[in-house]
Amino acid sequence: MVDCKNIVVSVIVLLSSWLLFVGHDHPRLLGRAQRPLTAPAAAASSVLHVGALLDLGSTGGRESRASISLALDDFYASRQPDTTVELHVADCKDDEITAASAAIDLLKDFKVQAIIGPKTSMQARFIIGIGNMTNVPILSYSATSPYLSAKQSKYFIRTALDDASQVPAIASLIEYFSWRQAVLIYDDSEFGRGIIPYLVDALQDIDTHIPYRSIIPSVPTDDQINVELNKLKTMQTRVFVVHMSSDVAARFFVLAHDAEMLVDGYAWIVTDSVGNMFSTLDGNTIHSMQGVLGVRPYIPRLDKLLNFRARFLSRYKQQNPGAPEPANPNVFHLWAYDTAWAIAIALTKVGPLTLGFKSPSSQNSNDLNDLRVLGVSQDGPRLVDAIQATKFQGISGEFILVNGQRQASVFEIFNVIGNSYQSAGFWTPKFGLSKKLVTSSGPSDTVGLNTLIWPGGSAQAPRGWEWPVAGKKLKIAVPVKPAPNAFVNVKKNPATGKFDVTGYCIDVFEAVMQEMPYAVPYEYVPVVDPNMATNSTISYTEICHQVSLKKYDAMVGDTTIIINRSLYVDFTLPYTESGVQMVVPMKKNWSTSLWVFLKPIEPILWAAFLSVFVFTSFVIWLVEHKESRDFGGSAWKQLVNIAYFSFQALLAVPKDPKLKKWLSKFALINLVLLVWLLEKLYSASLTSMMTVHQLQPTVDDLNQLISNGDYIGYQGGSFVKDFLKSQKVEEHKIRKYSSTDQYAEALMKGSWNGGVAAVFDEIPYLKLFMSKHCRNHSIVGRVHKTGGFGFVFPKGSPLVADVSRAILTVTEGDKFAGIEQRWFGYEVTCNNQANAIESGSVITLSSLRGVFFITIGLWAVVGVICAVIWFRPRQEEEPVQEAVAELAVEHVRGNRDESIIWRIGRDSHLLIQLRGNPPRPADTGAKEVAQPEAGLDGVEPPPDTINLEGPDEQVRLVEHPLLTAAAENDKRNEQRN
């Protein structure tokens, strides 16, 4: 790279030297340096020689000389530094070779330590190499091309803003108005092309498409400009960003105005190349630019700027007597002023520069045309470091250099109105667009821009897209299917030879077009696969690809929004449900299980009910076993009696008055209520299982289909085939069908009889199928999400946003419901509850947990009351001896005395059954121990004798003191209860 640079520089030097030689005989080829009145002494250390490369043949060059000289005079007016700047001005004309020759002249003749200029970026590209070779700083206040960078050379300093610094402000403007497309217009020069890559990147970041770039020749004719204007006029995009020199821009806007392109609906944005030179534009140009927006660096209104114009004009007239009065100074003149001021400040910091230039050795200077004969500045490194570190408040704002580049701070947004312009707002890197200049977070009402006047005088911002005046109708691609279809149906009219396009999707699209804020002419173009005899369409994916290639302007139909297609086309918002499912036939499924009667109740509920059953029996036994003879006896006998009694309670409320205590009756009623509720629910659930749920799907999910090796159907032209293949379905197991009626036939045949086991399709199609074939089919499996049906447009089409908004308007209104009713009837979907695939309405424990909570609560109440009744009397009375009583029974058989004694416990019961008539004394022969009982033949037996079996058997009750005490104690307890 270094060798290449040396070769280029050497070529330039050879040409420059030749021009220098010729210039002695032809002074017009080279502007000689402006020498001081007295030649400086070689050893003078109090003067720093600074060169300036200016186009003195132009008004701008002469104005820049006035600014630079005025800056030096102002700086030294109040200072007496050790070292002062002496300015040497060279005329660099308007070409690169002359500028390079002038720079060499300044270095050879005056040993300048710094050079201000040159004017253009192309000139600066040549001069940068010279400065880098000689260590002389090159300070440019007007070379704004981003192609130039201070990183290329330490000795190049740009005291102006490069063109790329305004790009974020332009992008913010376009984003603020939500413009999705913009056309770039620039001149065919290094200056014009330099900003374009940065603009493209910035617009891509905000998702704004650039459909066209209009390149204007650097020196165009009116015809060349009109050709480009005619192209722009026929385009849909109405947002234009103009970046070109002010001279070309002036001609461009006059012709654009004559072409009626600065009217309502257009939006024009100019860069600072026009904004900075606005004061030089004539009245006719300004009149043509009404409503144009512009971006330019913001110049704060400082005190030193207020009287600058008068002093600037005075200096200009002094240097150019008899010349016409120039326009107001622009930003380049202010930057030239600050550049000279920066050099003067830097010189005061480094002090006198005494080292001078180091001349090359005689061995390396055999060729007098070699650039190295100029020498290398020994003071250059110190001076360039001092300049880059200089900071001050200049006349154009704060002067700060970062990496040799002036930094952008604030841009002003202006609006051309009347004979001048008005400030519309500001842009800062931190806060973006604002109505007023803000340096810190301010109120929200300052965000945005002030009221703007657009071309045509409208205050309403253009949409940025309009139907072109000379444009054609939109070509709307419509898929063709061999069988009639409720979504898209294309028929050829034999009489006219034209196609009649109808269907649900077509009606939705036409309703959307009626809601558009502007008229959009269009025509339907049926897309037929020429290789098929059935006149069916090519795949939807292929049609989308043709839309992306601009063969069609849009596609309308039952097109699903999927990620693969969205990579090369834009979809509107969906207008139908999204997702892919499968439909399968139903089969009868009468249950023949031995335990089907247990299915209505889940197992855990059976266990819970059994626990309630057992515990209720225990509670009844606990309360009754001391009083009721039915709950006495051995443990096994008591268990059997309790189980039988509780089971009897399941069938009906027991009417046998066996329960003596009201607590046991209370617990039994709670059980009966629970049994009643469970019986009702059980009956209803069992009835539902045995009658309603008679049909079950043959397949439950896609994995089951794959494992069974079944065939699967799909609709031709749909993306579903690719979806099935992505789910590991073998391609030969996939069968194509063209209509929903074919679905029913294929499902009826089955997978192994030439049909399929299931059909995969999008939900809208399955709903249409189920509305006709709901009886024997069911939609099963999980929903594989898709984007739904949407309309297709080329990538970046501005129609997408407007059509999407119109879709929302249609789908949220009554018109959409009318379209669905027209094509699908009132009952669009099938009631899948009739074909539900669940196992039935099984009664669960959680559904009855409230009843169980009540039962447990009642148990607790019964337990507490029983404990209080049982334990409280025993705590108050003296304990009675557990010993019971003895009942002596005298068994008399004939004349033989034989006594049988039974011990009677507290919890024992004695049941004596009297059978037969009491014996009479004369008949039995026994001693008279009793009198006949009243009412039994008039004989009252004695109190301690009972006749059991007649005249031969008698039982005698023998009194016992414990029996008497126990009887009295039981009588007291009974009275308490």
State the Cα–Cα distance between residues 14 and 788, nearest whole angstrom. 71
Q: What digits encode the pLDDT tens for the residues 304-362?
A: 888 898 999 999 999 999 888 888 899 999 999 999 999 999 988 887 777 878 876 65
Tell the CATH topology of 46-160+321-359+373-406. Rossmann fold (3.40.50)
CA angle 783/786/789 to nearest 5° reads: 120
> Which CA distances in Å does 522 have to 473, 512, 606?
5, 13, 70
533 class by beta-carbon count within 10 Å (0-12 exposed, 13-18 middle, 19+ buried): exposed
Q: What tokens appear for 421 in the block?
A: 């312009």
The predicted pLDDT at position 294 comes to 95
The predicted pLDDT at position 832 comes to 45
Q: What tokens appear for 812 in the block?
A: 């949220």
Instruction: Please report the DSSP string for 744-799 in residue order.
Output: HHHHHH-TTTTS-SEEEEEHHHHHHHHHHH-TTEEEEEEEE----B--EEETT-TH
CA angle 314/318/319 to nearest 5° reads: 120
CA angle 566/567/573 to nearest 5° reads: 20
State the Cα–Cα distance between residues 525 and 552, nearest whole angstrom. 8
Domains 163-299+408-438 and 474-578+795-824 share a fold: no
Residues in the chain, pLDDT under 50: 1-45, 365, 368, 656, 693, 826-829, 831-840, 875-900, 906-909, 913-915, 922-960, 962-963
Q: pTM for the complete prediction?
A: 0.59
Instruction: Please report the DSSP string for 902-925 in residue order.
Output: EEE-TT--------SPPPPHHHH-
Question: Which residues are registered as beta bridge partners of 89?
Answer: 52
Q: What digits encode the pLDDT tens for the residues 938-969?
A: 444 444 444 444 444 444 444 445 445 555 66
Measure the N-to-C terminal CA separation of the chain; round to a whole number of Å. 120
What sign does the dihedral 338-344-345-346 (CA atoms) show?
positive
Domain coordinates of the chain in residue numbers?
Answer: 46-160+321-359+373-406, 163-299+408-438, 474-578+795-824, 582-587+696-785, 596-693
CATH number given to 163-299+408-438: 3.40.50.2300
The predicted pLDDT at position 173 comes to 95
Q: SS3 of 851, please? A: helix
The predicted pLDDT at position 148 comes to 84
- Any idea how long the chain is? 977
> Which CA distances in Å does 204 have to 174, 429, 516, 562, 573?
11, 18, 27, 23, 22
CA angle 165/168/169 to nearest 5° reads: 95
The predicted pLDDT at position 608 comes to 79
Q: Which of 168, 137, 166 is nearest to 150 (CA)?
A: 137
Tell the CATH topology of 474-578+795-824. D-Maltodextrin-Binding Protein; domain 2 (3.40.190)
Max Cα-Cα span within the chain: 190
Q: SS3 of 415, please? A: strand
Place of tokens 């997978």: 751
Residues 6+ apart with CB under 8 A from 453: 290, 291, 415, 417, 459
295 class by beta-carbon count within 10 Å (0-12 exposed, 13-18 middle, 19+ buried): buried
> Which CA distances in Å does 552 have to 132, 471, 473, 545, 556?
56, 14, 11, 10, 11
Residue type, 57: G
Residue type, 116: I
CB count within 10 Å of CB 537 equals 24
Question: Which residues are registered as beta bridge partners of 214?
Answer: 185
The predicted pLDDT at position 947 comes to 46
The domain over range 582-587+696-785 is classified in CATH as 3.90.960.10: no
The predicted pLDDT at position 360 comes to 67
Q: Which of 228, 213, 295 is nearest to 261 (CA)?
A: 228
Q: What tokens appear for 202 in the block?
A: 């910035």
